[in-house]
Amino acid sequence: MDFYKMISVEEAKSIIDTNFSISLEKELIDIKECNNRILYEDIISPLNIPGFKKSTVDGYAVKHEDVQGVSESAPSALRLKGEVIMGKMPTEALKLSGECMYVPTGGMIPEGADSVVMIEYTEKVENNTILISNSVSFGENVFNENEDVELGETVLKAGTLLKPYSIGMLASLGITKVPVACKLKVAIISTGDEIVSPEEKPELGQIRDINSYLLYSSVIEDAGEPVFYGVIRDDYEKLLHSAKKAINECDIVLISGGSSVGKKDQTAKVIDSLGEPGILLHGISIKPGKPTIVGKIENKPIFGLPGHPLSCAVIYKTLVRYLMQKITSTEEKDYPIQCKFSINYRKTHGREEYLPVTINAVEGEYTAVPVFTKSAAISGFTKAWGYVKVNKNAEGILKDQKVYVYKL
C-alpha cells in the first residue's frame, strides 16, 4: 500500500462497502431500556389503533342526517339518551332518528351515531332535549378505529434508531420486549507520547486526551458500545499489543493518532502487522483529515484516525459513522438549512472540505459564518452550529452564495 496515495471520500466509502459485511445478532430487551437502540426487525401492528371510534371533541354523538340544514334560528331538537363515560363502552345505542348522546373528547362513539356536534353549538333545554344549531357531515369530529394505526401496518422499520416517540408507539401496541440489534463494540485507543489523561495536569509540550472522549461519546450517540483501551505511547510493541487485544474483543477498532508518516507514527505499521489484508487505504482527499487509514484484519475494520481533534471528528462522522450505519441498516435523515455564505472563501483544490460554521438569522434570512480554526483545535466544532461540505472540485464559496448547512 502506497502511503498518501490519496483517494476521494466516495472512493473510501466504496472500499468500505466492498470489504466489510458484518452481521449483528438480535436480542430482546425491556421497553424501558430500548432508548437509542437500533430496531432489529420490522414491527407489524397486530391491531387497529385506537381500536374503536372515538370523539375528537366534547359534544353530542348524532346521526348526521338528523342535523342537516340546522342553524341558530332553526335548530334541531334531539332526545338525549344518556352520556358516554370515559374509558367505558356506551350503555345505550342510537336506534331511532332524532336521538343523541353526550360524549367527552376521547370517549367511544355509541352504536348508531356517525358524527359529533361540538358542545358550543348545542343547548340543553330540558332534561332530555338538546337543541343543535350547527350541522355536521358524516364522520365529522370522529376518529375511526384504524385511523392512527391499521392492523398489519408496518409501523417501525428495521434499522430505526429508537427514540421516545417510537417507544411510545411500541407501548401502544403492547410490545414490552423489543427486538434490537446487539450493540457494535467499538474499541478506542489513543496514542501519543504527548497525551495525558484529563485528570492529569499537562506539562509544557503535553495535552490532555480529547479524542478518546470525543469518540467514546460519539459511539454512544450512534448506539454502539465503546470500549476504552487507554492512551498508548508511541511505542510499536505496546500499540501492537493493545490493537491485538482490541481486534479480538471488539467489532471495530479506532486508533486515534500516529496515522501520519512521521518518525514516531506507528499506527500504519501496527495495522499492517496485525494480519491480512492489512491497510486498505492511507490518505483521503479531505480537509481536515488527510492522514486517515482504513484497514481490515480478517473481516474486522480498523481505522487509523488523525490525532488532531477536528480531523478526528470529521473522519468519524464521514467514515466510521457511515460504516456503523451500514452494518446496522440505520438510515440517517439529514435535513440541511439553506443559508447565504457570509464571505468569499477559497479552498484547497481537489480536497473535499468540511467547514464549521455558525448561523446568523436576521428577519428570517439565514447567513452561514465560517469558524476558522486549525485541525489541531477542537474549538472549531464546539463554537459551530453545523458545517458546510465543499465539493472537492470547487474552488471555494462566493459571498452570498447559497450553501447547505448540516447540523453537527
Domains in the chain with CATH codes: 9-24+182-328 (3.40.980.10), 27-49+149-181 (3.90.105.10), 54-143 (2.170.190.11), 337-407 (2.40.340.10)
Calpha distance 212→34 (Å, rounded): 25
For residue 66, give the 3-state DSSP assignment.
Answer: helix
Calpha distance 315→182 (Å, rounded): 24
Provide the residue-wise pLDDT of the chain in tens; the chain has 408 residues.
445 578 999 999 999 999 999 999 999 999 999 999 999 999 999 999 999 999 999 999 999 999 999 999 999 999 999 999 999 999 999 999 999 999 999 999 999 999 999 999 999 998 899 999 999 999 999 999 999 999 999 999 999 999 999 999 999 999 999 999 999 999 999 999 999 999 999 999 999 999 999 999 999 999 999 999 999 998 999 999 999 999 999 999 999 998 877 667 799 999 999 999 999 999 999 998 999 999 999 899 999 999 999 899 999 999 999 999 999 999 777 889 999 999 999 987 788 999 999 999 988 899 999 998 776 667 777 889 999 999 988 999 999 999 999 998
Q: Which of 1, 55, 63, 4 lies closest to 283, judged by CA?
A: 4
pTM of the model: 0.87
Angle, alpha carbons 229-233-238 (nearest 5°): 65
Calpha distance 144→55 (Å, rounded): 9
Q: Which of 31, 27, 328 lies closest to 167, judged by CA?
A: 31
φ and ψ of 9, to 5 deg: -60, -40
Instruction: Tell me whether strands 386-390 and 352-362 are parallel, antiparallel or unpaired.
Output: antiparallel
Instruction: Tell me whether strands 277-282 and 252-256 are parallel, antiparallel or unpaired.
Output: unpaired
Q: Name the region of 371 (left: φ>0; alpha: ψ -120 to 50; beta: rest).
A: beta
For residue 43, give the 3-state DSSP assignment.
Answer: strand
Calpha distance 284→272 (Å, rounded): 18
For residue 27, give the 3-state DSSP assignment.
Answer: strand
Q: Name the DSSP class of 121.
A: G
Let me know if 104 is exposed, middle or buried by CB neighbors in 10 A (0-12, 13-18, 19+): middle
Amino acid identity for residue 204 in this structure: L
Inter-residue contact 136 to 67 (CB < 8 Å): yes
